[in-house]
Structure formats: C-alpha cells, structure tokens
Amino acid sequence: MMRILAIVPGGIRDQILFFPTLESLKKKYPKAAIDVIVEPRSKNSYTICPYVQEVLVFDFQDQNGLADYLNLLGMIKDREYELAITLEDDWIISFLLWLDGIPTRVGYKSKTSWFLNCTVPKKTEQYLPYTYHDLLKPLHITTPCPPLSIHIPQEDINWATAEKNRLNLKDGNYILIHGGASVVTASQGINKIYPVPKWQRIIDETQKIQAIPVVLLCGPDDVDWTKELISLCPQVKVVAPPSIGKLAAIIGGAKLMVCTDSAPMQLAIAQKVPTIGLFGPTQASQLIPPGCDYAVGIQSLSQDITDIVPDQILEKIRQFLTPQEAVRG
C-alpha cells in the first residue's frame, strides 16, 4: 500500500484550508494511506477530515534541537513513505525527507528548497486553498481545487442537538458571533479582536433587524471577552463546544455567522453557512472563496480590525437577514 505524508504547520484554520488538497490526493490515490504531521494545537482538526489515516505531531514553533529532529527522522523513516508534501519552508525538514529516502518530495520553490525534487512557485496573492492545491501540479493532478468540506461525526451532531435543545435554539434561527481571541496570534503581534463595545452595538441593532437569538461562541481563549460582552448584553446565549467536531455541528445550524478571521469562520464556510468575516492584518481575498455568495469579508483599510465601523457590518447583516437573500448557496 502506498503511503503519503503531508507536513502542515500552523493552526486549525490552516488545516481546514488544506483539506481540499487532501481530498484531491485521495481521489488520485484512493488506496493510499495519507498521514499528516501537524503542531500539537492542530491535531484534533482531523477528527472532521475523512482523508487522513494517522496524525503525527511535531512542534514546529518550538526551539527544536538535534534530538527533536532525530526523533522526527525516525518517525518518518519507520513508515516508509513514497511521497511527501511539505508546506514548511525549512531546509531542515526537506533535508530530513531526503535523508529518509522518500522518492518524491514536493514543496514550494525557495532559496532553501535544495532537498526537494518537485517544487512549485508559492502564489500567496490567491485564495489560500488554491496556493496549497498548487503543490499537486508536479503529481499531474490538474483538477480544480475542491470547495472546503468537512465530515462531522454523529456523536458531535448529537451533542450539538442536545445543546441547542438546552438553549432553546432551532436550526436556521440563531446568529453566531465569534470574537476571535487567540493567545498564539496575540503573541505574534497580530490583533484579530474586535472591540466589545462595537459588538454590543451590533447585537443591539441586529435584534431590531430580526429578533432571533444571538449566541456567543466561547473557546478557551475567549472567556474574558465573553464575560465582558455578557455584562453589556445579558440577553445573549453562550455555547462552549469542547471539540472541533462539536464546534462545527453548532455552527452548521446557524442562520448567520459573524466573526473575525478564525477557524470557526472556515467551518462556517465549509458548511455554506452565511458568513460575515472581519479582517484586520490578514487579507480577506486569501481566506474567503472567490465568487462566493454566502460569505463576505469586511477588510479594514488600515489593517487594524478595530477601525471597522459597526455600520459596515450591520449593512451586511441586513442583506443576509432579508428573507430573499438569506438563502444558502
């Protein structure tokens, strides 16, 4: 049986955006076993991806020493891969793939891609899944990049159903808001958090447009943001899914998702939930599918997300909540 390895650094959002590439790989090699190497924070992403057999972990963000790389070398060598695709632009990683004797080593062309024997230009100006999918060109996979899609386990669907019953929510009749707090992005100096007072105005005005429940998505990094917003908008409901599958299941039942650039935004897009994404330093054109009629990005002209005016967001909310336009694609 053919074994394929994909090395995918980054967070959960990056993994979800890589799913279409994995889908095309699986269609090309239906009998192959596809494994991925990801950072510890992203391992659980693959509970909603049906194309991967084994998820291996390596902390690309850490200050790795010789012992760490030797462990990675052994982990790769034991599985005898025939094909490796790497998104990691690090000559050490491609050197390990070469050292392990993997016949086909695919990655982006760079000044340090010496140990890769199949490279493609990295076109960062396009929609990110397209950039990832370009890595399949050396394998003669020329089919278009598939749209984002996920597979939610039944147990997660059952959990979400119970949670919606607890909160008295009906499918297609609640709005989700996610603030996008993240310890990792904050440590990198990237601010994706939209101010709580502006969220308060959006929630209050949205209720005037259509009086349906507003639900806050609360992740591990969102506790303070959630508490502050609840103190200003006590009418909102809160849901805290304990896993990515349960998070996806809750998102799938929403009438509208309003959020900052985040993994939940991509989960909404994958399920064709009408989505309004707020962008500061990241570019909407790279993270919203081109020509998509159910997801729109609002880009801060200053690259500071706090400069987005609530009226811009409310205008898009009105458009989506108008009965003729609240139709999923």
3-class state of residue 145 by DSSP: coil
Residues 51-71 have pLDDT tens digits of 999 999 999 988 899 999 999
Read off the CATH number of the domain in which 130 is found.
Answer: 3.40.50.2000
Domain-embedded: residue 306: yes
pLDDT for res 325: 40
Query: Which parts of the chain have pLDDT scores under 70?
Result: 180-191, 323-329
pLDDT for res 323: 59
User: How far out from the chain centre does Cα 48 lie?
Assistant: 12
Q: What domain range is 193 assigned to?
A: 154-321
Contacts of 62 (CB under 8 A, 6+ apart): 68
Query: Same domain for 27 and 128?
Result: yes
Beta bridge partners of residue 275, listed in sequence order? 257, 295
Query: Same domain for 26 and 135?
Result: yes
Domain-embedded: residue 144: no
Q: Which amino acid is at 70?
A: L
Query: Same domain for 186 and 288?
Result: yes
Domain-embedded: residue 147: no
Query: Same domain for 176 and 82?
Result: no
Query: Same domain for 98 and 60?
Result: yes
pLDDT for res 270: 98
Separation of alpha carbons 93 and 86, rounded Å: 8
Number of domains the chain contains: 2
Query: Same domain for 108 and 173?
Result: no
Separation of alpha carbons 92 and 112, rounded Å: 9
Among the candidates 115, 139, 163, a domain finishes at: 139
Domain-embedded: residue 279: yes
What pTM did the predictor assign? Answer: 0.93
Contacts of 323 (CB under 8 A, 6+ apart): none
Residues 77-91 have pLDDT tens digits of 999 999 999 999 889
pLDDT for res 192: 78
Domain-embedded: residue 216: yes
Separation of alpha carbons 137 and 56, rounded Å: 25
Q: Is the dihedral of CA 273, 42, 10, 105 positive or negative?
A: negative
User: What are 25's two structure tokens?
Assistant: 């790989």
Domain-embedded: residue 299: yes
Separation of alpha carbons 193 and 195, rounded Å: 6
Residues 276-317 have pLDDT tens digits of 999 999 999 999 999 999 999 999 999 899 999 999 999 999
Query: Same domain for 174 and 69?
Result: no
Query: Same domain for 131 and 255?
Result: no
Separation of alpha carbons 210 and 203, rounded Å: 11
pLDDT for res 328: 42
